[in-house]
């Protein structure tokens, strides 16, 4: 079951590479949030009930509801255009994402580990690097935020992998989520959209040498 | 016990400062914070090796950095007060500045002392939060741009550090250890899995470079130091960089002497040399004084990291360099407020005749330049000399030649800009304004302190550095 969930998670990364509309990004984030909720529910069997409820609530409330809702309202409030405006064609993006996933699978081949499930490793590393790729290959600042959320989801999968042995790591991962979501989206929602009406990275290029 | 008192006091002071609209109350709270900061430092110096609250240890590297930070806390708060009164800042803006400044200093303090990888990570996160408020102080478009870039890059860097900690935790789990104390890492260093440790160090190093100011994540820090008010910039350009160093050093110390340690050393060496190269390129074409100081910080952190790569002798030089750089760089940032009042500009092209416009300030600036450029009798000259000596002792002639060449170009670029400001005629008419010589006293003390440490390092400092050096093998 866990393997199936991770494979579905990986396929969402491919969809991210070719998605053409901002709203699709938000929908993918909602879907990833639900997937992570299920992964946490099935995997963290050794957790105390209270801690498990806390983590499940975080994944569903933050990852699947609050953050996507916030992104959606920013898109509406600032009248952000629908297109994702990549620097590269979607086909190239798809190829690069495939290369990232294949690279992660090859890297996982060198792991002989009883604690870490290879599926978790591949899912996490692919998400982290796909997130980074989204950040460097898209023009809109909001897409950078989406890229960051994907990185966070990858980090969360990795923390789940060691979760049963080190529960504190999962809680720390949640802290990172909340910190970054509130802070980054807070700045974005409150300030950047109001000050810079044209919200792509070209409007944030005044500071240079 | 004292650490608990310190943490409780800091929480109360930060909350009170955030809501305070009275200057007198804010001053009192500032003095109270200086008191608790000094109390913690004295307590640490008199109880070396003590662990409090389970997660904070007054060990040698922590004490060195804590002492350095506490010394620059005094002038930082004094210059912050001057900054907030000339011209008078809005009470709400001053409150946000003061509370986040205190929070930043306290978070750095705890980050230095943390003996647990995750605890150090949490306090690093808090420094990002508080630094962001300081960078956004002016509420301008450019300040917002710098804040956004800083927060975004630091958020990614914090993610990286977390991933690194996760990989290291996997290595520890294989050895039957489920704690992330640095002491546990040290105890298991010989048997930890190479694959996870390499991956862990790589992510932790890349993450902390955002704070330390090395390649690949140095960019955000430069914008931040440029847009933050100068007294806050002094903290960002010195003590906060030290926090990045602390994070990297503690993990490196835990793996040094193993095959992973040698690999980590190569990673740091490459990163430091690339950074030095980038700093040289930018310094040669720089036009903004604050960015010039920021790039100079990056250059010095490269030298410190190079020192760390060359055994115990190099490490001693690196620690001395770190301490002296903190004093000199913060002094130069404090002096920038005077430059701004004279020229109301940061651009080097719009400056000149500083010796006529502010004679005492110009002499202080020259003293600061001699100190930061590591020209004798600067203290930094001695630490750089020791770093070179460590390189040559290990037979790394190529690294030595590259570093020496890049530092020479940097010296040329830096001196060209400073001499332009001090000696060449101004390109536009600048009204002479009166600046009290008292405002330069703190800088003079800091520069003199760095020079004194270079000539005659205090015995207790050398002892602490020796103890810290014993942590690497």
Per-residue model confidence as pLDDT tens for chain B (473 residues):
899 999 999 999 999 999 999 999 999 999 999 999 999 999 999 999 999 999 999 999 999 999 999 999 999 999 999 999 877 788 999 999 999 999 999 999 999 999 999 899 999 999 998 999 999 998 888 888 899 889 989 999 999 999 999 899 888 888 888 888 999 999 988 888 888 899 999 999 999 999 999 988 998 889 999 999 999 999 999 999 999 999 999 999 988 888 899 999 999 999 999 999 999 999 998 999 999 999 999 999 999 999 999 999 999 999 999 999 999 999 999 999 999 999 999 999 999 899 999 999 999 999 999 999 999 889 999 999 999 999 999 999 999 999 999 999 999 999 999 999 999 998 888 888 888 888 899 999 999 999 999 999 999 999 999 999 999 87
Position A207 in a domain: no
CB B234 within 8 A of CB B226: no
Between CA A97 and CA A130 the distance in angstroms is: 6
Decide if A165 touches B, using CB distance below 8 A.
yes
pLDDT, mean over chain A:
84
By C-alpha distance, the chain B residue nearest A159 is B166
Instruction: Report yes or no on A94 lying in a domain.
Output: yes
Positive or negative, the CA dihedral B397, B402, B408, B414 is: negative
Residue A105 is predicted with a pLDDT of 92
Number of H helices, E strands in chain B: 20, 2
Quote the domain boundaries for residue B396: 272-473
> How open is the CA angle B344-B350-B352, to the nearest 5 degrees?
100
CB atoms B174 and A113 under 8 Å: yes
Query: Between residues B319 and A73, which one has the greater pLDDT?
Result: B319
Please indicate if any CB of chain A lies within 8 Å of the CB of B149. Answer: yes
Torsion sign (Cα): A17, A19, A21, A26: negative
Contact A165 B165 (CB under 8 A): no
User: Rounded to whole angstroms, how far apart are CA atoms B51 and B62?
Assistant: 12
CA distance B457 to chain A (A): 37
In a domain, A209, yes or no: no
* B311 occurs within a structural domain: yes
Nearest CA in chain B to A208: B223
* CB-based contact B141 A116, cutoff 8 Å: no
* Neighbouring C-beta atoms of residue B29, cutoff 10 Å: 20
Tell me the C-alpha to C-alpha distance, in Å, between residue A118 and each of A41, A121, A151, A166, A206: 19, 5, 18, 18, 44
In a domain, B219, yes or no: no
What domain count does chain A have?
Answer: 1
CB pairs under 8 A between A and B: 102
Specify burial of residue A2 (Cβ count, 10 A radius: 0-12, 13-18, 19+).
Answer: middle
Tell me the C-alpha to C-alpha distance, in Å, between residue B442 and each of A3, A171, B328, B448.
62, 44, 11, 10
Residue B152 is classified by DSSP as: H
**Do residues B334 and B443 touch, judged by C-beta distance below 8 A?**
yes
Contact by Cβ (8 Å): B327, B446: yes
Residues of A in contact with B174 (CB under 8 A): 113, 115
What confidence tier does A197 reach under pLDDT thresholds 50, 70, 90? Answer: low
DSSP three-state, residue A46: coil
C-beta separation of B352 from B454 below 8 A: no
Query: If you compute the radius of gyration of chain B from its CA atoms, what whole number of angstroms results?
Result: 21
Q: Is residue A110 within 8 angstroms of chain B, CB to CB?
A: yes
Structural domain includes residue B380? yes
Question: Using the beta-carbon criterion (under 8 Å), do A159 and B288 form an inter-chain contact?
Answer: no
Q: What's the count of helices (H) and strands (E) in chain A, helices before strands?
A: 9, 0
Taking alpha carbons only, the member of B37, B199, B214, B205 closest to residue B108 is: B37
Between CA B61 and CA B446, with CA B100 as vertex, the angle to 5 degrees is 50
- Write out the two tokens for B127: 């420094």
Q: How far is CA B209 from CA B122, B161, B212, B244, B305, in A?
A: 16, 10, 5, 7, 11
Does B326 or A51 have the greater pLDDT score?
B326
Alpha-carbon separation of residue B472 from A87, B257, B310, B365, B448 (angstroms): 46, 7, 11, 37, 31
Q: Does A89 reside within a domain? A: yes
How many domains are there within chain B?
Answer: 1
| Domain assignment of residue B180, yes or no | no
Lowest mean pLDDT among A15-29, A103-117, A173-187, B363-377: A173-187
Q: Domain span at residue A150?
A: 2-192
**B386 part of a folded domain:** yes
| Residue B181, SS3 per DSSP | strand
Q: Quick check: is A147 in a domain?
A: yes
What is the rounded CA–CA span in Å between residue B105 and residue B77? 10
- Tell me the sheet residues that pair with B51: B57
Residue A88: pLDDT band by 50, 70, 90 thresholds? confident
Q: How far is CA B399 from CA A135, B320, B395, in A?
A: 34, 20, 9
**What tens digit of pLDDT does each residue of A11-47 get?**
999 999 998 888 899 999 999 999 999 998 888 877 7
Judging contacts by C-beta atoms under 8 Å, the chain B residues touching residue A144 are: 152
Contact B144 A151 (CB under 8 A): no
- Residue A62 pLDDT > 90, yes or no? no
Residue B195 maps to a domain: no
């Amino acid at each position: 079951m866990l393997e199936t969930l991770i494979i579905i998670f990986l396929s969402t990364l491919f969809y991210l590479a070719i998605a053409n509309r901002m709203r699709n990004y938000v929908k993918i984030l909602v879907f990833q949030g639900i997937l992570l909720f299920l992964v946490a529910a099935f995997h963290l069997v050794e957790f105390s009930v209270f801690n498990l409820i806390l983590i499940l609530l975080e994944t569903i409330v933050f990852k699947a509801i609050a953050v996507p809702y916030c992104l959606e309202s920013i898109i509406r409030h600032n009248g952000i255009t629908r297109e994702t405006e990549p620097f590269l064609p979607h086909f190239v993006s798809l190829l690069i994402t495939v290369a990232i996933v294949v690279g992660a699978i090859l890297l996982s081949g060198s792991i002989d580990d009883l604690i870490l499930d290879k599926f978790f490793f591949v899912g996490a590393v692919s998400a982290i690097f796909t997130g980074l790729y989204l950040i460097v290959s898209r023009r809109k600042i909001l897409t950078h935020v989406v890229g960051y959320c994907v990185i966070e989801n990858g980090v969360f999968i990795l923390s789940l992998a060691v979760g049963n042995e080190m529960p504190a790591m999962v809680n720390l991962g949640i802290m990172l989520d909340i910190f970054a979501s509130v802070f980054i989206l807070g700045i974005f929602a409150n300030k950047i959209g109001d000050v810079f009406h044209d919200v792509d990275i070209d409007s944030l290029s005044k500071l240079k040498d | 016990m004292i650490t608990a008192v310190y943490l409780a006091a800091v929480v109360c002071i930060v909350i009170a400062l955030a809501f305070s609209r009275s200057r007198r109350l804010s001053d009192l709270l500032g003095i109270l914070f200086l008191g608790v900061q000094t109390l913690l430092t004295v307590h640490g110096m008199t109880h070396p090796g003590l662990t409090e609250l389970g997660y904070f240890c007054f060990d040698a590297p922590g004490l060195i950095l804590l002492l350095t930070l506490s010394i620059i806390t005094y002038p930082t708060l004094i210059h912050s007060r001057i900054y907030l009164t000339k011209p008078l800042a809005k009470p709400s803006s001053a409150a946000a500045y003061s509370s986040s400044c205190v929070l930043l200093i306290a978070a750095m303090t705890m980050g230095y002392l943390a003996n647990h990888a995750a605890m150090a990570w949490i306090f690093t996160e808090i420094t990002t939060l508080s630094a962001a408020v300081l960078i956004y102080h002016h509420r301008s478009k450019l300040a917002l741009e710098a804040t956004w870039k800083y927060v975004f890059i630091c958020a990614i860097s914090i993610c990286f550090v977390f991933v690194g900690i996760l990989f290291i935790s996997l290595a520890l789990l294989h050895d039957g250890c489920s704690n992330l104390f640095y002491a546990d890492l040290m105890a298991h260093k010989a048997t930890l899995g190479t694959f996870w440790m390499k991956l862990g160090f790589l992510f932790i190093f890349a993450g902390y470079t955002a704070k330390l100011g090395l390649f690949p994540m140095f960019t955000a820090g430069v914008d931040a130091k440029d847009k933050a008010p100068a007294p806050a910039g002094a903290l960002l350009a010195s003590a906060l960089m030290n926090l990045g160093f602390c994070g990297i050093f503690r993990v490196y110390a835990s793996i040094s002497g193993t095959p992973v340690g040698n690999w980590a050393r190569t990673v740091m060496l490459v990163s430091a040399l690339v950074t030095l190269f980038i700093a040289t390129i930018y310094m040669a074409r720089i036009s903004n004084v604050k960015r010039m100081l920021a790039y100079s910080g990056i250059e010095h952190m490269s030298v410190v990291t190079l020192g760390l790569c060359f055994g115990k002798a190099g490490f001693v030089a690196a620690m001395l360099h770190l301490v002296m750089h903190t004093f000199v760089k913060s002094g130069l940032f404090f002096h920038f407020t005077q430059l701004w009042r004279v020229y109301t500009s940061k651009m080097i092209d719009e400056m000149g005749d500083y010796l006529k416009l502010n004679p005492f300030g110009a002499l202080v600036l020259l003293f600061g330049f001699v100190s930061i450029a590591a020209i004798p009798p600067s203290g930094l000259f001695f630490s750089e000399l020791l770093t070179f000596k460590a390189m040559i002792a290990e037979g790394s002639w190529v690294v030595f030649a590259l570093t020496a060449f890049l530092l020479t170009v940097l010296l040329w670029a830096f001196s060209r800009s400073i001499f332009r400001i001090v000696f060449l005629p101004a390109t536009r008419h600048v009204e002479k304004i009166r600046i009290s010589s008292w405002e330069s006293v703190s800088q003079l003390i800091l520069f003199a302190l760095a020079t004194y440490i270079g000539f005659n390092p205090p015995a207790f400092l050398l002892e602490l550095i020796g103890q810290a050096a014993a942590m690497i093998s």
